[in-house]
Amino acid sequence: MAGLNKVVTSYDEALAGLTDGMTIIAGGFGLCGIPEGLIAQIKKMGTRQLTVVSNNCGVDGFGLGILLENHQIKKMISSYVGENALFEKQLLSGELEVELTPQGTLAEKMRAGGAGIPAFYTATGYGTPIGEGKEVRIFNGRPYILEEAIRGDFAIVKGWKADTYGNVIYRHTAMNFNPMATTAGKITVVEVEEIVAPGELPMDHVHTPGIYVDRVIQGTFEKRIERLTTQA
Amino acid sequence: MTLSREQIAQRVARELQDGFYVNLGIGIPTLVANYIPADMEVMLQSENGLLGMGPFPHPNAVDPDMINAGKQTVTAVTGASIFSSAESFAMIRGGHVDLTVLGAFEVDIEGNIASWMIPGKLVKGMGGAMDLVAGAENIIVTMTHASKDGESKLLNRCNLPLTGAGCIKKVVTDLAYVEIHDGKFWLIERAPGVSVDTIVKLTEGPIVVPEVVPEMQF
């Protein structure tokens, strides 16, 4: 690696430094826009006791679900986790811990973490079990709860195209949580469909500027569809 | 006759206005998209990051990178835009969405809503529901008025853990259109052929009944 070139050529390099007990922030919504090769590499490495921050936890046999099969996840911080039977089993047995977080709060926790904002007030969750035990403050007559930002030891992200400097663009709704995730990792790894030379991505179309990105790897993606729905 | 799922959606659709940005939840709210008047421009927001959600794709046009908040494959309409989850919830929390429609297990006379958690059953999560009810000014809840055993779901106080406090003002059930303010339910319209007595009997919280309660027309 030299200068600002972020490209790595092996998955071993891409996740070098990931160890037991770390916190990983993962982009993706359902199975859409997930870093498939990086998740497979975590499975291969066998890293354990992980805390994973991700809107969902994949399905049985795909996405983050494969890390559950391997008993690598200690705790999930997610907004919705109902899509896998194994998740339910590990949760009920006490092997897995889950911290349910409203989806917008989860996105903002990542955004704030990446932006150096330690906490923020939001009306979301006030008066619900999510607000219990959290600081409440009134602004303009309305109560808000204090939510703390999240940072990760690693962020794993799926992009569409990146240049070698780590500028990233996403495709369609595969963007979702990925841009916030890139900002919130101490080490941010982006897996993309295509790597191009600097200057090839129009600079005013870049979604994630390269300053947030530490490593870029080119992957191949199955892009499994969770709920195929069509019209005649 | 109680309203069918489609009729509930049809009734909700009458609250749409030209130029509205609308978020539709999963289930009956999704059906509202089928009843947008042809002479109206309405943009549907999907909280995973799409403004301008279109119909489901034809089988030859499926794109795994295009899904809705229910993780179903979708299309986008001309003039749609795509953005991150943080941007999406800035729209929702910032009060920029004109109408939000979502389902519920229970509502009460204080405008509280319970829709995400039944203690003792596995909790899958709230997704974006807490953000939607906290951020939107104009929310319509769609639900059945009572359980199959005749237990009211329009309550003095929600029994289940809340999704949001004091945020619901309009409810369309299979029996009636009801508004909530001043610590009471207010009966506005009834389903065709459903008597006021039936509605009052199946509403636990105090409900104000005007002299004339118009029947919904379909």
Band of the pLDDT at A85, cuts 50, 70, 90? confident
Interface test with A, best of B65, B85, B162 (most A CBs within 10 A): B85
A residues 32-51 lying closer than 8 A (beta carbon) to B: 32-33
Residues A22-61 pLDDT 10s: 999 999 999 999 999 999 999 999 999 999 999 999 999 9
Distance CA B99, CA A178 (A): 27
Distance CA B12, CA B181 (A): 19
Interface test with B, best of A128, A160, A231 (most B CBs within 10 A): A128
Residue A129 has pLDDT above 80, yes or no: yes
Closest C-alpha among B118, B94, B114 to residue B106: B114
Contact A173 B46 (CB under 8 A): yes
Mean pLDDT for A145-163 is 98
A2 to chain B, closest Cα gap in Å: 31
pLDDT computed for residue A88 by the predictor: 85
pLDDT computed for residue A225 by the predictor: 97
Residues B18-46 pLDDT 10s: 999 999 998 899 999 999 999 999 999 99
How does the average pLDDT of chain B come out, rounded?
Answer: 96
Closest C-alpha among A75, A56, A82, A61 to residue A177: A56
Q: Which residues on chain B are in Cβ contact (under 8 Å) with A231? A: 55-58
pLDDT computed for residue B151 by the predictor: 97
Mean pLDDT for B166-175 is 98
Residues A181-197 as b/e (b if ≥16 CB within 10 A, e otherwise) read bbbbbebbbbbbbebee
Band of the pLDDT at A131, cuts 50, 70, 90? very high
Gyration radius of chain A's alpha carbons: 18
- Strands across the sheet with A142-148, in order? A119-122, A142-148, A136-139
pLDDT computed for residue B143 by the predictor: 97
Distance CA B112, CA A102 (A): 17
B147 CB burial (10 A radius; 0-12, 13-18, 19+) = exposed
Q: Are A188 and A213 spatial neighbours (Cβ–Cβ below 8 Å)? A: yes
DSSP string, chain A: --TT--B-SSHHHHTTT--TT-EEEE--BTTBT--HHHHHHHHHHT--SEEEE-S---BTTBTTHHHHHTT-EEEEEES--TT-HHHHHHHHTTS-EEEE--HHHHHHHHHHHHHT--EEEESTTTTSGGGTTS-EEEETTEEEEEEE---EEEEEEEEEEEETT--EE--GGG-TTHHHHHHTEEEEEEEEEEEE-TTSS-GGG-SB-GGG-SEEEE-------SB-----
Band of the pLDDT at B120, cuts 50, 70, 90? confident
CA distances from B21 to A157, A188, B86, B96, B127 (A): 30, 35, 18, 8, 20
Mean pLDDT for B181-188 is 98
Mean pLDDT for B145-151 is 96
Band of the pLDDT at A83, cuts 50, 70, 90? confident
pLDDT computed for residue B60 by the predictor: 96
Mean pLDDT for B159-172 is 97
Residue with tokens 């949760």: A91
How does the average pLDDT of chain A come out, rounded?
Answer: 96
Any catalytic annotation for residue B47?
Answer: yes
pLDDT computed for residue A42 by the predictor: 98
Contact A173 B127 (CB under 8 A): no
**β-bridge mates for residue A7, sequence order:** A216
pLDDT computed for residue B86 by the predictor: 98
DSSP string, chain B: -PPPHHHHHHHHHTT--TT-EEEE-SSHHHHGGGG--TT---EEEETTTEEEE-PPPPGGG--TT-B-TTSBB--EEEEEEE--HHHHHHHHHTT--SEEEEE-SEEETTS-EE-S--TTSPP---TTHHHHHHH-SSEEEEE-SB-TT--BSEESS--SPPSBSS---EEEESSEEEEEETTEEEEEEE-TT--HHHHHHT--S-EE--S--PBP--
Residues A88-97 pLDDT 10s: 889 889 999 9
pLDDT computed for residue A152 by the predictor: 98
Q: What is the ipTM of this complex?
A: 0.96
CA distances from A136 to A53, A106, A108, B195 (A): 24, 18, 18, 44
Of A124-133, B11-20, B114-123, least confident by mean pLDDT is B114-123
Of B58, B67, B123, the CB nearest to A230: B58
Residue A1 has pLDDT above 60, yes or no: no
pLDDT computed for residue B122 by the predictor: 78
pLDDT computed for residue B121 by the predictor: 83
B residues 63-122 lying closer than 8 A (beta carbon) to A: 63-68, 70-74, 76, 82-86, 88-89, 92-93, 112, 117, 122
- Give Cα A19 to chain centroid, integer Å: 17
**β-bridge mates for residue B99, sequence order:** B22
Residues A206-229 pLDDT 10s: 999 999 999 999 999 999 999 999
pLDDT computed for residue A92 by the predictor: 85
pLDDT computed for residue B214 by the predictor: 97
Band of the pLDDT at A84, cuts 50, 70, 90? confident
pLDDT computed for residue B1 by the predictor: 84
